[in-house]
Chain A
Amino acid sequence: MSTPRAVLGALRQTIVGQAEVVESLVLTLVAGGHLLLEGAPGVAKTLACRALAAALGGMFRRIQFTPDLLPSDIIGTRVFDQKTAAFSTVFGPLFANLVLADEINRAPAKVQSALLEGMQERRATIGLETHALPAPFLVLATMNPYDAEGTYPLPLAQLDRFLAKVVVAYPSRDEERAIVDRFGGGEPPLPIGVATLADVATWQHEARAVFVDPKVRDYAVDLVRASRVAELVAHGASPRAALALVTLARARAYLEGRAFTVPDDVRDIAPAVLRHRLAYDDRIAVAGTDPEDVVRGIIAAVPAP
């Protein structure tokens, strides 16, 4: 059986830098959640997702979200077959193991809602029939923070469905040079078949058995509660955030080969869990404060056990 570290290593061979993105992809996979990636165009968001899909060998589908997209375009529809004189079901691209929802905020709320319902329920309804989505099922959604015109911002309740959000930064100068050297000649080679879907199912099962000490659990809860009373925050994180912290902490411990979680696990993944779950009040714009600093402040304000 392969290990998540093998997948991590394979992704690092393909993606130059972007350590947080690569680790978050593997952690989300092990935790059985969904990941939101925000970054400028051309910073390897899509490449990272394609590399993960190639490494796992599952069914990969990419959906480019546009303003004219319909829910049936992603879920599927019922079509009338004239030969059999009956309706048959055509499954949409959501029926895959790994779904890349590119620029998720470009589609209207109805489409976003259809996707997010699938993410939460892990099933989709076409006509009168409800179908289970394949397992494992992982949605990787991307957002471009710059071209805001003509976009449909995701409401907080829908953002909450994502286990984590990673901000994909520009690479450093050395990394950018390495990108040009390595990929200047064409498409980068993707890691093929590093693990199987059965391996992923085993990892997810084993990660759920990682021990969480009550002190670590309380630390996660305290972080979430601190977000609700933090300065410049209008609405703090939901209890789902505390669950996400513990789930990802387990995945991180599993990735590092530990059978128990430690406070560092929670603290390390806290920014990715909290950043998209907070609503800020108007003073943040007046103060010119970076929301990331608010998140850092919340984490720093809670002493680790």
Chain B
Amino acid sequence: MASRRALRTGCARAVSAAVFALLCAPAGAQGLRTLHVVTLSMTADRTEVPLGSDLHLTIHARVREHVSALDELVVPEVGTMHLLGDERRVRRGPAGTDVDETLTLEPIDAGSFTLPGAFLDAIDGRTGKPTRFTANAVRVTVGPAASAAGNGWLRRAALALLGLLVAAMGVTLVLRIAGRGRGAAPVAVASVPFFASASAASPRDVVRDALAAYCTAPSSDTLASLRSAVLAAAGTVPGATTRDAVAATSDEQLRATLRAAEAATFSSEDARSTAKEQFIETARGWLK
């Protein structure tokens, strides 16, 4: 009973997402909103999931403006995962607006997958240019199910995909006939693929490379690159501060690394060598 409801919910979400994707298709040709994007990050509550369990994928965006919604936010296509539900929270504060989009996903196939980062297109308030802001990718490993229910999942997956295909075709037909209007849906699904590869460099890989570069040739430039990599690992865009990054991640060790990076960058000359050593040590700890 519950799994049928989940299937229906998943199909309904997928349909609404498909509708939104189609409606938004010409958005690139239309006027983009000017936004100062501070943070765009993506985290999963679990990165190792057995078949039959679900995971929550949270996309966090912070913009300086006070907005009621962030319809530009495009979450990655979840492909062969069931989209069981989504929840959006919008909080407006003195520093701007925080938007949290949480997707509940249920994997279908075992394997190791990289979910490409969510993105949003806007006119960058800092530069005045159209920009695509992209969140970090998330790697998820799906293990075998604890109980022997594999055949049932495959059947449900096939049904869900079939339902999605039929619904998307129906919606396309309706839209072409109607030929009008734009709408809003809680989730926009991108045309970016959900792929099973390790080709995309993970934030840790970027930090690892930057750390190696700094250790090989310590300079203010390599230190700045390392700090930028750590800030990006928390999901922030260039121009964000340490506090933005600390607020964007729940990883305590990454937070400690961010603070150490700040001390290594901005402390006085006599204290900086110690701060740099602490930064390297903390970054290594986070990379382990």
- A residues with a Cβ closer than 8 A to B are 211, 213, 215-216, 259-264, 267, 296-297, 299-304
Contacts and interface: CB of A to CB of B under 8 A. Distances in A.
Interface of B: 36, 64-65, 96, 125-126, 238-243, 262-263, 265-268, 271
A211 B125 contact: no
A300 B268 CA distance: 27
Contacts of B96: 296, 300
Given A211-B267, A262-B266, A303 B238 contact: yes
Nearest to A303: B239
Contacts of A301: 36, 125-126
A111 B205 CA distance: 64
Contacts of A299: 64
A209 B243 CA distance: 24
Given A300-B125, A301-B126, A303-B239, A262 B262 contact: yes
Contacts of B126: 300-303
A268 to B, nearest CB: 8
A102 B242 CA distance: 38
A212 to B, nearest CB: 9
26 contacts: A211-B266, A211-B267, A213-B266, A213-B267, A215-B265, A216-B266, A260-B263, A260-B268, A260-B271, A261-B266, A262-B241, A262-B266, A263-B241, A263-B266, A264-B242, A296-B64, A297-B125, A299-B64, A300-B65, A300-B96, A301-B36, A301-B125, A303-B238, A304-B239, A304-B240, A304-B241
A259 B266 contact: no
Contacts of A263: 241-242, 266
Contact of B268 (A211, A215, A296, A304): A211
Given A213-B266, A215-B266, A300-B125, A262 B36 contact: no
A143 B241 CA distance: 33
A304 B65 CA distance: 17
B36 A300 contact: yes
Contacts of B265: 213, 215
Contacts of B267: 211, 213, 259-260
Listed from nearest, the 9 A-B pairs whose CB atoms lie closest are A303-B239, A300-B64, A211-B268, A300-B36, A260-B267, A213-B266, A304-B241, A264-B241, A264-B243
Contacts of A261: 266
Contacts of A215: 265-266
B1 to A, nearest CB: 42
B270 to A, nearest CB: 9
A264 B267 CA distance: 14
A296 B38 CA distance: 13
Contact of B271 (A216, A259, A302, A303): A259
A213 B268 CA distance: 7
A57 B138 CA distance: 57
A301 B240 CA distance: 11
Contacts of B125: 297, 300-301
A219 to B, nearest CB: 10
B171 to A, nearest CB: 37
A82 B163 CA distance: 104
